[in-house]
Structure 1
Amino acid sequence: MYTRFFLLLLLQGYDSEDRAYIVTQGPLPHTVADLWQLVLQERAPAIVMITRLQEKQRVKCEPYIPTHSGLYGDITVTVRQVLNKSGYTIRQLFLQRGDESHETLHFWYTAWPDHKTPSEADQLLAMALQVEHVRKSACGVALGPVVVHCSAGIGRSGCFVAISIAINQLLEEDCVDILGIVCQMRLDRGGMVQTGEQYEFIHRAVALYAATLPSVCNGK
Structure 2
Amino acid sequence: MISEQSVTTLVMISEIGDGARKCPRYWADDEVQYDHILVKYVHSESCPYYTRREFYVTNCKIDDTLKVTQFQYNGWPTVDGEVPEVCRGIIELVDQAYNHYKNNKNSGCRSPLTVHCSLGTDRSSIFVAMCILVQHLRLEKCVDICATTRKLRSQRTGLINSYAQYEFLHRAIINYSDLHHIAESTLD
Give how far 1:60 is off.
2.8
Q: Which of 59, 71, 93 pairs up with 2:55?
A: 93
Q: What residue is the counterpart of 2:109 in the other structure?
A: 142
SS of the residue 1:143 aligns to: coil
SS of the residue 2:105 aligns to: coil
Q: Write the deviation string for residues 27-57 of structure 1: whole angstroms up to 9, x where unpaired.
A: xxxxxxxxxxx011111121111111348x6
Query: Measured at CA, do residues 109 and 76 of structure 1 come closer, stay the same or move farther in structure 2, by a change above 3 Å?
Result: same
Amino acid at match of 1:195: S
- Kept in 1, the 8 Å contact 2:152–2:159? The answer is yes
Q: TM-score, normalising length from structure 2?
A: 0.89
SS of the residue 2:109 aligns to: coil
SS of the residue 1:104 aligns to: strand
Give how far 1:219 is off.
4.7
Q: Write the deviation string for residues 143-176 of structure 1: whole angstroms up to 9, x where unpaired.
A: 3111111111111100000001111111011111
Amino acid at match of 1:82: S
Give how far 1:104 is off.
1.1
Ranges in structure 2 where 5+ consecutive residues have no aligned partner: none
* 1:65-104 matches, cutoff 5 A: 65-98=27-60, 99-104=63-68
Amino acid at match of 1:112: W
Q: Write the deviation string for residues 154-202 of structure 1: whole angstroms up to 9, x where unpaired.
A: 1110000000111111101111111111111111112111211111111
Give how far 1:72 is off.
1.6
- Tell me, in whole angstroms, the C-alpha distance in 2 between the residues paired with 1:94 and 1:54: 22
- Kept in 2, the 8 Å contact 1:81–1:92? The answer is yes
- Tell me, in whole angstroms, the C-alpha distance in 2 between the residues paired with 1:188 and 1:59: 23
Give how far 1:59 is off.
6.2
Q: TM-score, normalising length from structure 1?
A: 0.77
- Kept in 1, the 8 Å contact 2:14–2:21? The answer is no
- Kept in 2, the 8 Å contact 1:53–1:59? The answer is no
- Tell me, in whole angstroms, the C-alpha distance in 1 between the residues paired with 2:148 and 2:2: 26
Query: Measured at CA, do residues 219 and 166 of structure 1 come closer, stay the same or move farther in structure 2, by a change above 3 Å?
Result: closer
- Tell me, in whole angstroms, the C-alpha distance in 1 between the residues paired with 2:157 and 2:67: 32
Query: Measured at CA, do residues 214 and 184 of structure 1 come closer, stay the same or move farther in structure 2, by a change above 3 Å?
Result: same
Query: Measured at CA, do residues 169 and 45 of structure 1 come closer, stay the same or move farther in structure 2, by a change above 3 Å?
Result: same
> Identity across aligned pairs (percent)?
27
Does 1:183 find its partner at 2:150? Answer: yes
SS of the residue 2:89 aligns to: helix
* 1:52-201 matches, cutoff 5 A: 52-54=15-17, 58=20, 60-98=22-60, 99-114=63-78, 115=80, 116-140=82-106, 141-201=108-168
SS of the residue 2:71 aligns to: strand
Amino acid at match of 1:67: D
Amino acid at match of 1:128: V
- Tell me, in whole angstroms, the C-alpha distance in 1 between the residues paired with 2:17 and 2:145: 30
- Kept in 1, the 8 Å contact 2:115–2:124? The answer is yes
Ranges in structure 1 where 5+ consecutive residues have no aligned partner: 1-37
